[in-house]
């Protein structure tokens, strides 16, 4: 595989991490690298999904000698129940993020902490939902839409409103499979009811509900989280930024935002740019204030403000290990409890802000929409005042950083790709230029690359190597979450240089549209953007989503949210490739349902492909895209 001088390799990133681990040793800090060793080997029953502990008669573990639990449940029921519980956790989490966003939308007011920054998008959605918009004050409309959106969580009848965005063909598949999501909370509750002792043990029924719960996330809670974050904070447009640990600045007060909900980090960014705060930082001996991010809060603020990305999931300890982090401010999800004790080895303030993510050894400053300005200002001030407490002997910031162009919402992608055909930016273009590129073979297809890091995979290698492989084969990559940050850290979002990795066709498209070949579409909830894009392509092309030469891939996934995502991506008709097994291998029946030709594929025209050999996973993705092209006769 080609390697270009401008990129940062995984080996170089590991060398930077190793230097930080030396600091960890010096101060006696615990790190995930050590804890992985302590936890290895993992429990074989847990890995296969064959341990049941949903009642207190057990735990029951399935072996050839004891093929059933005490209640008589077989291995297929146990594995499928565990899979559904895994999915429900993820669907609940993403959707609750969306619910928080809807509550914040309800608090918007002219001149307030939160305002409507994209009124056109709000009006577009209101019309889509059949709400009268004529002559209405934009904030009255925002509050009305917030209430309607919140009812999507618990309405007694009907299905998710956003499902109507999917092609009619897809909606019919969902109806026929009985997986159209109803109220979001109902799908999560029903999942927990089905998996309760003495309810479902039929694998097929449990997997069907997993798809429906996943769809309530992707076409419900997550989609609301994305769409209404855009309404409040602005719909992302291409913007230049930087990525990797070197974005932290030695002479500045460093504030790192981490988690998922942009509501607080938007305010932190605002106050870090306040001239009064910058002057205060200078008074305290710093040259300025740098806000950078980790995980999806980082993706949210980079997409809208170009805030640099310090790293992804398995880098969260690294930012503290630099000895130059004055405050790590977290909201919800993907936050290591380890940050508590780790921050105590340094001067770093570990600030938790959500009642949903309470963590020992943190300072808790409760965030609420009404007092967000006061809280954010207090946090920025606290970080500034902490600058003087640094131990200069422990300060080491690896110099790695890369240029990245981010901000590719669906609206932005359509806009920039239209420039290829129409030579001028049309923000509300269609997907037709993209379809023409794929149809003619200039681009062979697309991969939606998403998900986390997982110590089971050498961190970032799968993301980066698979992306390079796709680009060489003229397959464009759209990406979100920690996968997007892996690409940005390596340099694959450099708007000019990354084109060197592409085959001739993709390179030409990137030059004409002035885009990097790996497009940053946002955070985990923003995978809903990918669903909208896939739907629009299918509609504009006049084919089904499952026929479009596009695949999904989560090569290093780790969280319950990722399982929920996998379910809704597959249920939308997109074949999904995983580099880590979802604890399902203990049942051949569940494996057949998820990965076979006669399981979920018969319901939704797509399935999972699991392969822990990343090279082979990539080959299978390319083969799948080429097979779809062949079936279309292109």
For binding to ligand MSK (CB under 6 A), which residues are involved? 260, 295-296, 313, 334, 451-452, 481-482, 523-524, 559, 561-562
Nearer to ligand MSK, 507 or 561 (CB): 561
Residue count of the chain: 634
Nearer to ligand MSK, 415 or 566 (CB): 566
- Beta-strand relationship, 239-243 and 349-352: unpaired
Nearer to ligand MSK, 241 or 559 (CB): 559
Q: C-beta of 362: minimal distance to ligand MSK in Å?
A: 18
- Beta-strand relationship, 445-449 and 550-554: parallel
Q: C-beta of 538: minimal distance to ligand MSK in Å?
A: 26
Query: Residue 273 — φ and ψ, nearest 5°?
Result: -95, 0
DSSP 504-520: HHHHHHHHHHT--SEEE
Q: C-beta of 559: minimal distance to ligand MSK in Å?
A: 4
Q: Which residues pair with 519 in a beta bridge?
A: 478
Q: C-beta of 463: minimal distance to ligand MSK in Å?
A: 10
Give Cα 517 to chain centroid, integer Å.
19
Compute the distance between CA of residue 583 and CA of residue 18 in angstroms, rounded to an integer.
31
Q: C-beta of 483: minimal distance to ligand MSK in Å?
A: 7
Q: C-beta of 384: minimal distance to ligand MSK in Å?
A: 27
47 CB-contact burial (10 Å; exposed 0-12 / middle 13-18 / buried 19+): middle
Nearer to ligand MSK, 257 or 524 (CB): 524
Nearer to ligand MSK, 403 or 463 (CB): 463
Q: C-beta of 584: minimal distance to ligand MSK in Å?
A: 19
Q: C-beta of 556: minimal distance to ligand MSK in Å?
A: 9
Contacts of 50 (CB under 8 A, 6+ apart): 61, 62, 75, 78, 79, 586, 587
Please, are residues 311 and 289 in contact by the beta-carbon 8 Å criterion?
Answer: no
311 closest CA partner among 106, 490, 113? 490
Nearer to ligand MSK, 227 or 589 (CB): 227
Please, are residues 405 and 516 in contact by the beta-carbon 8 Å criterion?
Answer: yes
Taking the CA atoms of residue 614, residue 94, residue 196 and residue 163 in that order, the dihedral angle to the nearest 10 degrees is -90
210 closest CA partner among 596, 611, 603? 603
Contacts of 454 (CB under 8 A, 6+ apart): 556, 557, 558, 580
Nearer to ligand MSK, 78 or 342 (CB): 342
Nearer to ligand MSK, 167 or 552 (CB): 552
Q: C-beta of 260: minimal distance to ligand MSK in Å?
A: 6
Q: C-beta of 563: minimal distance to ligand MSK in Å?
A: 10
Nearer to ligand MSK, 201 or 265 (CB): 265
Nearer to ligand MSK, 290 or 480 (CB): 480
Q: C-beta of 478: minimal distance to ligand MSK in Å?
A: 14
Q: C-beta of 409: minimal distance to ligand MSK in Å?
A: 17
- Beta-strand relationship, 363-364 and 349-352: parallel
590-593's contacts with Cβ under 8 Å and 24+ in sequence apart are: 590/49, 590/76, 590/79, 590/80, 590/83, 590/203, 590/207, 593/80, 593/203, 593/204, 593/207
Nearer to ligand MSK, 320 or 334 (CB): 334
Max Cα-Cα span within the chain: 72
Nearer to ligand MSK, 435 or 554 (CB): 554
Compute the distance between CA of residue 73 and CA of residue 94 in angstroms, rounded to an integer.
30
Q: C-beta of 226: minimal distance to ligand MSK in Å?
A: 13
Compute the distance between CA of residue 133 and CA of residue 131 in angstroms, rounded to an integer.
6
Nearer to ligand MSK, 379 or 484 (CB): 484
SS3 letters across 141-203: HHHHHHHHHHHCCCCCCCCCHHHHHCCHHHHHHHHHHCCCCCCHHHHHHHHHHHCCCCCCCCH
């Amino acid at each position: 595989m080609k390697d270009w001088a401008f990129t940062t390799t995984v080996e170089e990133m590991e060398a930077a991490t190793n230097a930080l681990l030396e600091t960890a040793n010096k101060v006696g800090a615990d790190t995930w690298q050590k804890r992985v060793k302590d936890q290895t080997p993992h429990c074989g029953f847990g890995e296969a999904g064959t341990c049941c502990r949903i009642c207190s008669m057990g735990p029951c573990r399935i072996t050839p000698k004891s093929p059933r639990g005490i209640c008589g449940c077989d291995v297929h029921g146990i594995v499928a129940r565990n899979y559904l519980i895994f999915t429900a956790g993820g669907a609940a989490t993403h959707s609750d993020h969306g619910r928080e966003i809807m509550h914040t939308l309800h608090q918007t007011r002219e001149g307030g902490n939160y305002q409507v920054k994209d009124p056109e998008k709000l009006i577009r959605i209101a019309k889509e939902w059949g709400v009268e918009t004529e002559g209405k004050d934009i904030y009255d409309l925002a509050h009305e839409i917030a209430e309607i959106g919140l009812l999507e969580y618990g309405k007694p009848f009907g299905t998710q409103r956003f499902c109507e965005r999917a092609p009619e063909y897809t909606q019919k598949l969902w109806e026929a499979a009985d997986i159209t999501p109803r109220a979001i909370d109902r799908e999560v509750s029903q999942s927990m009811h089905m998996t309760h002792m003495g309810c479902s043990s039929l694998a097929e029924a449990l997997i069907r509900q997993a798809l429906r719960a996943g769809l309530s996330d992707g076409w419900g809670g997550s989609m609301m989280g994305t769409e209404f974050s855009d309404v409040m904070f602005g719909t992302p447009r291409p913007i230049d930024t930087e990525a990797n640990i070197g974005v932290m600045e030695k002479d500045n007060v460093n504030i790192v935002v981490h988690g998922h909900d942009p509501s607080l980090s938007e305010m932190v960014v605002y106050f870090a740019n306040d001239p009064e705060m910058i002057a205060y930082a200078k008074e305290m001996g710093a040259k300025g204030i740098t806000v950078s991010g980790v995980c999806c809060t980082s993706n949210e603020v980079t997409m809208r403000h170009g805030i640099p990305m310090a790293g992804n999931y398995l880098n969260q300890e690294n930012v503290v290990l630099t000895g130059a982090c004055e405050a790590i401010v977290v909201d919800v999800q993907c936050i290591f409890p380890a940050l508590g004790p780790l921050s105590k080895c340094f001067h770093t303030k570990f600030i938790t802000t959500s009642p949903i993510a309470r963590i020992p050894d943190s300072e808790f400053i409760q965030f609420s929409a009404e007092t967000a300005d006061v809280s954010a200002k207090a946090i920025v001030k606290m970080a500034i005042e902490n600058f003087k407490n640094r131990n200069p002997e422990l300060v080491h910031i690896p110099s790695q950083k890369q240029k990245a162009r981010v901000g590719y919402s669906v609206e932005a992608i359509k806009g920039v790709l239209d420039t290829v055909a129409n030579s001028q930016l049309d923000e509300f273009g269609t997907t037709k230029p993209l379809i023409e590129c794929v149809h003619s073979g200039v681009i062979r297809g697309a991969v939606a690359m998403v998900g986390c890091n997982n110590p089971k995979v050498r961190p970032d290698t799968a993301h980066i190597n698979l992306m390079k492989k796709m680009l060489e084969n003229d397959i464009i990559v759209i990406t979100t979450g920690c996968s997007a940050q892996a690409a940005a850290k390596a340099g694959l979002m450099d708007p000019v240089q990354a084109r060197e990795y592409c085959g001739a066709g993709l390179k030409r498209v990137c030059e004409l549209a002035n885009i990097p070949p790996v497009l940053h579409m946002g955070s985990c909830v923003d995978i809903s953007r990918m669903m909208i894009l896939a739907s629009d392509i299918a509609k504009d092309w006049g084919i089904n989503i499952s026929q479009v030469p596009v695949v999904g891939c989560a090569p290093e996934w780790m969280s319950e949210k990722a399982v929920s995502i996998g379910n809704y991506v597959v249920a939308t008709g997109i074949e999904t490739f995983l580099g880590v097994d979802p604890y399902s291998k203990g049942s051949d029946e569940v494996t057949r349902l998820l990965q076979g030709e006669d399981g979920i594929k018969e319901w939704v025209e797509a399935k999972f492909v699991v392969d822990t050999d990343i090279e082979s996973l990539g080959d299978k993705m390319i083969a799948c895209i080429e097979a779809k092209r062949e079936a279309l006769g292109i």
